[in-house]
């Protein structure tokens, strides 16, 4: 399998993108901002359409839109946390812009631009060149490193905002930095699994890890590991059965892991009456 260059490129890009998705996704779940991830998946496609309509590389519009909207949601939300009202407002605005850019795009698009738009929507991990794969890996590694640098104060602010503020944590700055990283990861992951399936890679491994462990650091590592494992499994299955699209298989693996974790929690060896319930994550202070 790895004798093929396109598979090596897919594994290189997919591994680091999945690592970043797993780490960022864990905080998306802990902070109850899954709706923000869903909104950014639509923002990614709208941004790509805007770039294509302007005659630019779709990645320019993709990254610009996701980062600006992510930071905008944080700035408009309470204490740099994107609440549902803010996300819903941005969601409606972005969808309206998407209709506008789609109209412009379809009236003046070429076959090449049309293909680029479809790739953003459904993912194109098997179509990445060596330079694209290296860039994706670099951005994924940088996003993961940035997230780990702010992980402790971010976790503190996520679990107990008032205490974190009293201890001197700059909760607004940390929240904005997190949303900025989320925007980068959403843009990069859209090229791997597509804007339509982005939320699956962000939320499913993180949700599984959240169910499996009440220790936040163990959960963070589990989320990253499960996201990478889902990507490897999806790519392998898609190679073995060429009719199966890789983006769908990656997200399917992640979703099946979540179902298995939920079933284990409810019907596992330790019965429901004996299994300890974790209503909150363990303290990090």
Give the SS3 label for residue 78.
Answer: strand
**Span 35-80, pLDDT tens digits:** 777 777 777 777 777 777 777 777 777 778 777 877 777 776 665 5
The full length of the chain comes to 285
* Phi and psi based region of residue 55 (left: phi greater than 0; alpha: psi -120 to 50; beta: remaining): left
Q: What is the mean pLDDT of residues 218-228?
A: 92
**Span 81-106, pLDDT tens digits:** 556 666 777 777 777 777 777 677 66
170 or 16: which leads in pLDDT: 16
Q: Is the pLDDT of residue 122 over 70?
A: no
User: 10, 16, 14: which is closest to 147 by C-alpha?
Assistant: 16
Helices (H) and strands (E) in the chain, counts: 12, 0
Task: Note the pLDDT of residue 142.
Answer: 93
Residue whose structure tokens are 């904005």: 176
Global confidence as pTM: 0.78
pLDDT bin (cut points 50, 70, 90) of residue 169 is confident
Task: Note the pLDDT of residue 260.
Answer: 86
Task: Note the pLDDT of residue 84.
Answer: 65
pLDDT bin (cut points 50, 70, 90) of residue 8 is very high
Q: Is the pLDDT of residue 111 over 50?
A: no
Percent of the chain surpassing pLDDT 90: 18
* Count of CA atoms in the C-beta half-sphere (13 A) of 138: 6
Average pLDDT, the chain: 78
Q: What is the mean pLDDT of residues 187-199?
A: 72
Tell me the C-alpha distance between 159 and 102, whole Å: 40
Task: Note the pLDDT of residue 15.
Answer: 92
Q: Is the pLDDT of residue 173 over 90?
A: no
Task: Note the pLDDT of residue 123.
Answer: 64
Tell me the C-alpha distance between 58 and 121, whole Å: 11
pLDDT bin (cut points 50, 70, 90) of residue 269 is very low
Q: Is 240 exposed, middle or buried (0-12, 13-18, 19+ CB in 10 A)?
A: exposed
């Amino acid at each position: 399998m790895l004798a093929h260059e396109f598979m090596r490129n897919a594994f290189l890009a997919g591994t680091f993108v999945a690592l970043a998705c797993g780490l960022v996704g864990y905080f998306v779940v802990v902070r109850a901002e899954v709706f923000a991830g869903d909104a950014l998946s639509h923002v990614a496609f709208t941004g790509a359409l805007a770039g294509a309509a302007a005659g630019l590389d779709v990645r320019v519009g993709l990254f610009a839109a996701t980062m600006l909207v992510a930071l905008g949601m944080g700035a408009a939300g309470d204490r740099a946390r994107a609440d549902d009202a803010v996300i819903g407002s941005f969601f409606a605005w972005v969808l309206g812009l998407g209709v506008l850019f789609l109209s412009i795009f379809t009236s003046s698009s070429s076959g090449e631009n049309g293909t680029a738009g479809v790739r953003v929507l459904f993912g194109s991990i098997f179509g990445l060149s060596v330079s694209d794969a290296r860039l994706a890996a670099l951005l994924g590694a940088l996003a993961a490193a940035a997230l780990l640098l702010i992980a402790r104060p971010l976790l503190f602010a996520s679990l107990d905002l008032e205490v974190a503020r009293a201890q001197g944590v700059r909760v607004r700055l940390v929240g904005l930095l997190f949303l900025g990283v989320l925007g980068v990861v959403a843009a990069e992951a859209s090229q791997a699994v597509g804007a339509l399936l982005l939320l699956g890679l962000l939320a499913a491994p993180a949700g599984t890890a959240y169910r499996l462990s009440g220790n936040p650091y163990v959960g963070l590592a589990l989320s990253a590991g499960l996201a990478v494992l889902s990507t490897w499994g999806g790519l392998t299955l898609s190679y073995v059965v060429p009719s199966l699209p890789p983006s769908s298989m990656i997200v399917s693996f992640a979703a099946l892991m979540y179902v298995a974790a939920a079933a284990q929690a409810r019907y596992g060896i330790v019965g429901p009456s004996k299994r300890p319930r974790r209503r909150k994550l363990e303290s990090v202070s």
